[in-house]
Amino acid sequence: MKAFGSCIMCLTLVLSTVSAAATTHAESGKAPAENRDGAKSAIVIEEETGKILYKKNENKELPPASMTKVMTLLLIFKALSSHQISLKDKVTVSEHAASMGGSQVFLEPGEVMTVDEMLKAITIASGNDASVAMAEHVGGSEKAFVQQMNEEAKKLGLKHTHFKNPTGLPEEGHYTTAHDMAVMARELAHYEKVFTYTSKYEDYLREDTDKKFWLVNTNKLIKTYPGADGLKTGFTNEAKYCLTATAKRNGMRVIAVVMGAPTPKERNREIAALMDEAFASYSTKQLIPKNKTVGVAEVKKGNYGKVPIVTQKNAVLLVKRGENSKGLKKKIEVNEPLRAPIKAGTVVGYYTVRKDNEVISRTPLIVKVNIKQATWWQLFKRSAGSIIKY
């Protein structure tokens, strides 16, 4: 924490990589020039390991403004991943969605756009109207979608988060924390496709019509900070200037969250300084790639007698520059024997790395196939085979 302490305080340092942010759509208006005491809360984590590299009032409950859309996007990408929806699906804009104020792409009631186009509107222009249209498309209604948002927050173990809408427009009882935002952003980052949207600085809607609409990213760091590829800005008079930012360099992605900064310039400076310190102080080393078979586990009463165990994600070691990474103890820990039925993707163990008896890396291990309960005939043949072999 001390390594980052000087970083968060030196807000008068002008970083050459960060330009003064021009405000658009979701970010309009200026905070008083004399109110320059920095953000109310902040956090920095490394994406693959989830390790916290810096924190300041990380559990302080605050309004997130349009950073709310990180959770909105997470549910959209979960629906895409499960094939509940597709990028080519056509979404009809309701009167309610079209009535949203704040940042918007001026959707009209009855207008039809694809999910792909709606994602551009949400990720680049922070469109409240597009967010509500997608909430209705995925959840059936905005109310049902908000319920899903809160259910997902509980699944992620977020104890200081509650949503009242999918946009971040001011509403009593709508709050989160820098820590919880980082967890949501890390979960969203698992869907790599999201960065093809959030890393775009500009694009167009209705491009081949007379109502062509230019989208400009509300996150100016996309253009000015090396490696920046997301994720979501936010501003209301109550929340002030907020940003959940992501950047990737040399294979390491950093997630930084700042809430309640007095100006967009201060917000961007703090984020850039925090990420600079993270990249300067740490690096990551891949130990085992995602989907790599690390062993075979026995299954009791399953239609498979044995199944391969694979890594759910990359097994990564976070290394502080200058530290010795020798003396590591690596171990595969599986909850054997496995018992049917088991769904594909179920975590059945961990690939653990320890140093001086401290766990420094823990990667989930999963089964990749659905394991059903064996029929009596399968069990008979398996038993008979073992007897004959004996």
Q: Which of 56, 69, 240, 265 is catalytic?
A: 69
Q: Where are the domains of the chain?
A: 2-282, 289-389
Q: Which of 41, 94, 103, 126 is catalytic?
A: 126
For 141-152, b where at least 16 C-beta lie within 10 A, e where not — what string? Answer: ebeebbebbeeb
Which of the two residues, 49 and 27, has the higher pLDDT score? 49
Beta-bridge partner residues of 76: none
Q: Do domains 2-282 and 289-389 have the same CATH topology?
A: no
Q: Is the pTM of this model over 0.75?
A: yes
Give the Å distances, CA to CA, from 128 to 12, 111, 289.
Answer: 33, 15, 38
pLDDT in tens, 268-305: 999 999 999 999 999 999 999 999 999 999 888 778 88
pLDDT in tens, 336-377: 889 889 999 999 999 999 988 888 899 999 999 998 876 766
pLDDT in tens, 76-99: 999 999 999 999 999 999 999 999
Instruction: Examine the pLDDT at 386 and tell me if it is beyond 60.
Output: no
Instruction: Examine the pLDDT at 106 and tell me if it is beyond 50.
Output: yes
Q: How confident is the model at residue 383 (pLDDT cuts 50, 70, 90)?
A: low
**What sign for the dihedral angle of Cα 89, 94, 96, 102?**
positive
CA angle 367, 186, 144 (to 5 degrees): 85
Q: Which of 41, 66, 94, 199 is catalytic?
A: 66
Closest CA to 80 of 133, 47, 131, 116: 116
Q: Reply yes or no on whether 383 is catalytic.
A: no
CB-count burial class (<10 Å; 0-12, 13-18, 19+) for 343: exposed
What average pLDDT does the segment 7-16 reach?
33
Q: Reply yes or no on whether 199 is catalytic.
A: no
pLDDT score of 358: 87
The fold for domain 2-282 equals Beta-lactamase (3.40.710)
Q: Reply yes or no on whether 66 is catalytic.
A: yes
The fold for domain 289-389 equals Peptidoglycan synthesis regulatory factor (PBP3), Domain 2 (2.60.410)
